[in-house]
């Protein structure tokens, strides 16, 4: 515990780089996992999420949202900083997952239909987060997906054009087929 605390403080400061902030997220999460105390974690995650407003790196915000999701309800003070992540397709799945785990009753005041719509938009956007978006749609609950989201997902799974269109050619084809299979499996669970 003292070593983690020392390392956490050593990476703090105004001149902290993105790798420093990412390391702080992991250190704070490790402290929480060992001590169960969120006091040192919430400020670190809040700092990482506030830096997202300056667009330093989207991955830092994703890591912070993932950490908040792991913490669950005690991360409720972070909801206002997580909500803006819904607007970025790459960050949206991490934000939705965090909202579902932190505030399962009201998802930070965001309607399930809005969350589903944002996730479906992510699935259709070649942003590298499509598989995470399908997984987050599964966490929303296939039976609770709005009809418009189901229609859009079905259209994506059945369209001729590739959903994923960047990367190595063999990877594009393989990843696109995996994504379509994941979408179909999600829709099959809808019941």
On whether the CB atoms of residues 63 and 22 are closer than 8 A, the answer is yes
Read off the tokens for 176: 């696109």
Question: Is residue 117 one of the residues assigned to a domain?
Answer: yes
Query: Which stretches does DSSP call E strand in 80-184?
Result: none
In this structure, the answer to whether residues 27 and 79 fall within a common structural domain is yes
**CA dihedral sign, ordered 166, 49, 132, 113:** negative
Q: What is the pLDDT of residue 53?
A: 52
Query: 37: which 2 tokens?
Result: 């105390």
Q: Say whether both 80 and 7 belong to one domain.
A: yes
**Range of 21's domain?**
1-84
Q: In the chain, how many domains are there?
A: 2
Q: pLDDT at position 11, please?
A: 67
Specify if 94 maps to a domain: no
103 in any annotated domain: no
Token digits for 12? 């703090």
| Residue 79 and residue 128 share a domain | no
- Does residue 98 lie within any of the structural domains? no
Q: pTM for the whole thing?
A: 0.90
Same domain as 141, residue 184: yes
Among all chains, which residue has been given the structure tokens 């589903």? Answer: 116
| Domain assignment of residue 66, yes or no | yes
The pLDDT, as a whole number, for residue 138 is: 95
Residue-wise DSSP of 27-60: HHHHHHHHH---TTHHHHHHHHHHHHTTTS-HHH
Whole-number pLDDT of residue 140: 92
In a domain, 105, yes or no: no
Query: Within 10 Å of residue 8's Cβ, how many Cβ atoms?
Result: 20
pLDDT at residue 190 in the model: 74
Q: Mean pLDDT for each 10-residue chunk of the chain (191 residues)? A: 72 74 88 85 90 67 95 96 95 97 95 96 93 96 93 95 87 93 93 62
Q: Are residues 169 and 125 in the same domain?
A: yes
Q: How far is CA 188 from the centre of its chain?
A: 24
């Amino acid at each position: 515990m003292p070593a983690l605390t020392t390392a956490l403080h050593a990476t703090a400061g105004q001149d902290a780089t993105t790798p420093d902030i990412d390391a702080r997220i992991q250190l704070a999460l490790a402290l929480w996992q060992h001590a169960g105390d969120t006091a040192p974690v919430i400020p670190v995650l809040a700092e990482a999420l506030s830096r997202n407003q300056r667009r330093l790196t989207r991955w830092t915000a994703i890591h912070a949202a993932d950490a908040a999701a792991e913490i669950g309800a005690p991360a409720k003070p972070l909801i206002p900083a997580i909500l803006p992540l819904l607007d970025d397709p790459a960050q949206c799945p991490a934000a939705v997952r965090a909202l579902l785990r932190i505030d399962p009753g009201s998802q930070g005041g965001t309607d399930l239909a809005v969350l589903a719509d944002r996730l479906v938009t992510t699935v259709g956007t070649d942003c590298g987060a499509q598989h995470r978006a399908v997984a987050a749609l599964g966490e929303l609950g296939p039976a609770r997906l709005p009809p418009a989201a189901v229609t859009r997902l079905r259209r994506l799974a059945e369209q001729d054009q590739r959903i994923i269109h960047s990367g190595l050619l063999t990877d594009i084809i393989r990843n696109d087929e995996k994504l379509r299979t994941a979408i179909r499996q999600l829709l099959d669970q809808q019941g």
